[in-house]
Structure 1
Amino acid sequence: MAAANEDEILEGFLCPICKADLKSATQLTNHFESLHQEEQDVLKSLKDIFGKAKKIILNNDDTELKETFDRALKFNSQEYYYPNEEQSIGVSRSSTDYFRGVRSARLERYATETNKLLIRLDKLVCNMPSEPNQRKAFEQEVVPWLDGSSVKLCPNCAKAFNLTRRKHHCRLCGSLLCHDCSVFLDLNVAKSIVDPSIPQTSTQPDQEVTEKNGLRLCEHCYNLIELRKQIQERRNAKTALVTAYEQMRSLMDQARPAVAMYEKMCQSLFDGETTYNLADVNAMRGKIGKLAEGIDLLSKQVVAHPAEPGTRQARLQNSIRQAAAHYIKEDLLSLRKLPTEAQIEEVRRERYERAQKQIQLERERRERERDWREEASASGSRLEQADIDENNPLIEQMNIIRGYIKDARKELRFEEVAILEANLKELKKEYQLQMLSHKP
């Protein structure tokens, strides 16, 4: 305690020299030692003051005051640590109900407002005319626009309207704004918001959304619509487990027709047909092997997904893995064994001999039918073989079909190969009959 004058009394840890309040004894000591080193006698007197004060307190036998003074001295000398004193619980009050009430009212207000905007957005994008002149009248009919005849400033940026800064209206709330404060919502994105079943096809990244391909909105309406869009995306977002399972099912759907096509191609080789060759069937077998590898890898990802042991999810993941392994073993790895080249050649030779016999019989039949023709008409119908081969449209069609077959084989479209081969056979048969009819 120190007195500045007779009328004013100052209290606290005051410096005897500059009368500065240092808040604690340690700060007072450090202050005095650093700024008033020459006043060592005064510092000594300051310590004597503390000593005298302590003696006075001890003589008064005030236990609580003694403990307080000792704690202050230990704290100032950096030797004091708070003991683990047991504290009693004071008055507490739960604000959960108040928080829920305020939160519910706020969410209800935003939800109601957002639903109104979605209803208006649905009316705008579903029945919007294609012509620009009709579109403006339609938008103003769905959402009435505010009268801005007396509005001189933009409510958002407070800039004055003039010839270069024209007045515009938000298409969802009808409020006034300038072009710089406008935000445009892509029409394709708007359609996907009001109808989540429609796939979202936004504009190109380098194409700016303007009034022609978007809706002019204020920032408040745009933020509410964007928030609803984000909520929809989070709800429709698929987890890694679901994604892996759907990819596995997609590969299974691709594998089933591939296995059926492989069996058909194998049977064609065993029958001696020339529709497919051994390279085609091996390519299809390799495709099925890749599908099996993909199914196996995705099923392992499904079973490796974290799940509590013994829970329904863990049992379901194990069942998916077992079903995938059984499908791979029974349907994809137990494919029919391919015939050898020697077996294929033997079957095709026998098939060729049978076909030659049929052709010979057909030739003999046509020769008997041609005997009744008169010699004059028979000689007039003879054509040179070279001219026939050059001008015959059947040969041109067969060459075109052979090109299509080659391209289909490269793309592994063997169903298309089978159809084209059947057409080629019909053309060959018709060409052979045509040659027989012109043979002298």
Structure 2
Amino acid sequence: MAAANDEEILEGFLCPICKADLKSASQLTSHFESLHQEEQDVLKSLKDIFGKAKKVILNADDTQLKETFDRALKFNSQEYYPYEEQTVGVSRSTTDYFKAVRSARLERFATETNKLLIRLDKLVCSMPSDPNLRKQHEQEVVPWLDGTSVKLCPNCAKTFSLTRRKHHCRLCGSILCHDCSVFLDLNVARTIVDPSAPQTSQEHEVNEKNGLRLCEHCYKLVELRKQVQENRNAKTVLVTAYEQMRGLMDQAQPAVAMYEKMCQSLFDGETTYNLSDVNAMRGRIGKLAEGIGLLSKQIAALPVEPNMRQAKVQEHIRQAAAHYIKEELLSLRKLPTEAQIEEVRRERYERAQKQIQLERQRVELEREWRSEAESSGSRSNGATHDDDNPLLEQMNIIRQYIKDARKELRFEEVAILEKNLKELKKEYQLQMLSYKS
């Protein structure tokens, strides 16, 4: 309430007689009944007068009342009050006054909420686990009000006793009873002061051990700030679908690069990959393209006004996804046929055989330069070499690794293992040639 001039604006549960500021509606009622008994008699007499007037008005048999209403209606008609066009009078805008009052209240509301959040941050950041130390820590952060003279709960106006003990709000320090207390979960409190903190499920019951005791006013302010954070961080359906589509695109890029590498390996006649491996990778790329197309269609079908900016964004996303699928995922290199692969591998094998023959000739020339004793020793060692050759054991292990990697479509690992296997085979062939010589 406020005066006509620019006096201070009073807010709260104010007594209309003595202007005392009470803390709740129940306190205001008890205050008015106990201290303003005489004014209640006046109000009661006024209520009786209003009741009698209501009965007279609702009495349909009162002919005098009907005649009064008829005269009033007749006076308001054009016969007694003809219609005349009225001009617009002087007007005065109260927008500036409204904005000034609203800004002051919002600023006070925001300031109070920020103070509570600062206190909440100090409470939960360095809160000890020991109950006694925790209570001392809470009193150091927020001083508690002295409750020696407080006999009633300010919220429910019930008397404090042995069964109804006094408690304090951990954010403002005010006094209240247990029934009027509201508990804020500590994990939720940490999320409010630090939105980046990991959120945990709230399946347990919140009590004094795992929560903060708050009054209803402080709890509402903190809960409102939590709702604002959730609304600010909430993702729309459009954003969620777009992030999923981008995730599939990120998976498709290395898959396409791997497919090109595998195709080139087949055209080169290498045995690192086979045709089934490349077909499996092509099927994986096809599934990714299908998922990207479905998500882009869902984005384009989201309800929106035709001339809104979001409608253009959705259409552009759909077009970009279609272009990406067409240019990147559906324009893959054509696979070679089995006959082409066999022909390339046969030519590669012939080149390898020629290289082996040349290597064998080189070893025979080296044999001539060795002494008879060294050559005989090498023959005696070669007689028992095949029984426990470590190269054969390593090759068998690598072949098993290659088989497992192919099943799990880990073709990068397959390429590395095949390269190692070729080196071991080459070393083994050289070793066998030296033994035979």
| Structure 2 counterpart of 1:120 | 119
Describe how 1:157-306 pairs up with structure 2 within 5 A. Answer: 171-174=170-173, 181=181, 183-187=183-187, 189-196=188-195, 198=196, 200-204=197-201, 206-207=203-204, 216-220=212-216, 221-306=218-303
Question: Contact (CA 8 Å) 1:248, 1:294: kept in 2 or not?
Answer: yes
| Structure 1 counterpart of 2:141 | 143
CA distance in 1, matches of 2:212, 2:294: 48
Does structure 1 residue 23 correspond to structure 2 residue 59? yes
> Using a 3 Å threshold, how does the CA distance of structure 1 residues 232 and 147 change in structure 2: closer, same or farther?
closer
> Using a 3 Å threshold, how does the CA distance of structure 1 residues 419 and 208 change in structure 2: closer, same or farther?
farther
Which one-letter code corresponds to 1:24 in the other structure?
A
| Structure 1 counterpart of 2:384 | 384
Residues 250-303 of structure 1: per-residue CA shift (max 9 Å, x gap): 222222222111111111111111222111211211122122222222222333
RMSD over equivalenced CA pairs, Å: 4.6
> Using a 3 Å threshold, how does the CA distance of structure 1 residues 67 and 123 change in structure 2: closer, same or farther?
closer
The TM-score normalised by the length of structure 2 is 0.66
Question: Contact (CA 8 Å) 1:280, 1:409: kept in 2 or not?
Answer: yes
Residue 388 of structure 1, CA deviation = 1.6
Question: Contact (CA 8 Å) 1:153, 1:160: kept in 2 or not?
Answer: yes
Which one-letter code corresponds to 1:193 in the other structure?
I
Residue 142 of structure 1, CA deviation = 6.4
Q: Give SS of 1:381's match.
A: helix
Residue 331 of structure 1, CA deviation = 1.6
Question: Contact (CA 8 Å) 2:123, 2:138: kept in 1 or not?
Answer: no
Which one-letter code corresponds to 2:141 in the other structure?
V
> Using a 3 Å threshold, how does the CA distance of structure 1 residues 149 and 242 change in structure 2: closer, same or farther?
closer
- Identity %, equivalent residues: 65
Question: Contact (CA 8 Å) 1:186, 1:202: kept in 2 or not?
Answer: no
The TM-score normalised by the length of structure 1 is 0.66
Question: Contact (CA 8 Å) 1:184, 1:211: kept in 2 or not?
Answer: no
Unaligned stretches of 5+ in structure 1?
A: 1-10, 15-20, 29-49, 54-63, 72-85
Unaligned stretches of 5+ in structure 2?
A: 1-51, 74-82
| Structure 1 counterpart of 2:16 | none
Question: Contact (CA 8 Å) 2:145, 2:173: kept in 1 or not?
Answer: no
CA distance in 1, matches of 2:69, 2:175: 71
CA distance in 2, matches of 1:129, 1:68: 77
Residue 102 of structure 1, CA deviation = 6.4
Describe how 1:36-75 pairs up with structure 2 within 5 A. Answer: 65=67, 68=70
Q: Give SS of 1:216's match.
A: strand
Q: Which moved more, 1:244-253 or 1:165-174?
A: 165-174
Residues 49-83 of structure 1: per-residue CA shift (max 9 Å, x gap): x9xx9xxxxxxxxxx949949x9xxxxxxxxxxxx
Residue 115 of structure 1, CA deviation = 0.9
CA distance in 1, matches of 2:58, 2:127: 78
Residue 215 of structure 1, CA deviation = 5.0
Aligned residues: 367
Q: Which moved more, 1:288-297 or 1:98-107?
A: 98-107
> Using a 3 Å threshold, how does the CA distance of structure 1 residues 379 and 417 change in structure 2: closer, same or farther?
closer
Q: Which has the larger radius of gyration?
A: 1
Q: Give SS of 2:59's match.
A: coil
CA distance in 1, matches of 2:348, 2:168: 81
Out of 324, 348, 358, the position equivalent to 1:361 is: 358
Residue 94 of structure 1, CA deviation = 9.8
> Using a 3 Å threshold, how does the CA distance of structure 1 residues 292 and 381 change in structure 2: closer, same or farther?
same
CA distance in 2, matches of 1:173, 1:215: 16
| Structure 2 counterpart of 1:8 | none
Residue 230 of structure 1, CA deviation = 1.2
| Structure 2 counterpart of 1:316 | 313
Question: Contact (CA 8 Å) 2:147, 2:175: kept in 1 or not?
Answer: no
> Using a 3 Å threshold, how does the CA distance of structure 1 residues 96 and 425 change in structure 2: closer, same or farther?
same
Q: Give SS of 1:387's match.
A: coil
CA distance in 2, matches of 1:302, 1:436: 66
| Structure 2 counterpart of 1:108 | 107
Question: Contact (CA 8 Å) 1:251, 1:291: kept in 2 or not?
Answer: yes
Residues 92-143 of structure 1: per-residue CA shift (max 9 Å, x gap): 99998887666555543332122112223344555x3787589738944861
Residue 337 of structure 1, CA deviation = 0.4
CA distance in 1, matches of 2:161, 2:203: 31
Question: Contact (CA 8 Å) 2:169, 2:213: kept in 1 or not?
Answer: yes
